[in-house]
Amino acid sequence: MGSGWAPAADALGEPVAEVPFADLPGFAPPAVAGHGGKVRVVRTDGGRHLLVFLGRTHLYEGVGVEKVVHGIRTAAEAGVRTVVLTNAAGGLRPETQHVGDPVLISDHINMTGANPLTGTRFLDLTEVYSKRLRALVHEVDPTIAEGVYVAFRGPTYETPAEIRMLRTLGGDLIGMSTVLEAIAAREAGMEVLGISLVTNPAAGLSDEPLNHEEVLEVGRATAARMGGLLAKVVDRL
């Protein structure tokens, strides 16, 4: 669950257990407002069990790539085969995107300068984000758009010149997470679904300055909708 998404977890089902990150080996405590810093086990109405990470570690926190992907690798070791990655993102296409819209991630551009893989194992990233899972989401919400997510290291927001560059490169969404986790999940053989919540137009595309509180406010305002969307998708997995 990315910035502002944590309230949506309440719509997923009945909490069975919850443990703070700080009580688990290898996890970094939460450092960003809007990230709950807990792992929750949820039982859905259909009897499925979900492992929900309320928050994440970001590369800009300076604790290293291994901490960023530790949750994904822990889930894989626990037997999880499908991962849903959510985030808050700036929209690069305000002519078609609206604040509060969910967008499926169809592909990504990694501008972080980092990679969770080392050594000589070469991983095919032709289909990082599962076509099958995206089709399931379209069954739930036929109107949902798809787009290419661009990840920067952060913690600075991008400049207007960088945003113009990313639009030219084919980017649709901009954020500071998700990509490294998606790569680690694919390395582990997991099927990946990525969903961005557009919380603001990207730098230079509106007259308003960017701030994190805006991100959280949009998340709070759309939590019920996002949680309902995720719950319906999980039922189809």
Residues 6+ apart with CB under 8 A from 200: 90, 91, 99, 206, 208, 210, 214, 215, 218
Contacts of 62 (CB under 8 A, 6+ apart): none
Beta strand 102-111 with 191-201 is antiparallel
Q: Which residues pair with 40 in a beta bridge?
A: 18, 52
Q: Look at residues 37, 36, 54, 47 and name the one whose alpha carbon lies nearest to residue 13.
A: 47
8-state DSSP, 63: S
User: Are residues 185 and 192 in contact, defined by beta-carbon separation less than 8 angstroms?
Assistant: yes
Q: Which of 77, 95, 127, 158 is catalytic?
A: 158
Residue 127 a catalytic site member: no
Mapped onto helix, strand or coil, the DSSP state of residue 77 is: helix
Q: Is 110 exposed, middle or buried (0-12, 13-18, 19+ CB in 10 A)?
A: middle
Helices 179-187, 65-77: axis angle to 10 degrees equals 40
Given a contact cutoff of 8 angstroms between Cβ atoms, the answer to whether 197 and 219 are in contact is: yes
Q: Which residue has the tokens 């499926």?
A: 104
Which residues are annotated as catalytic? 158
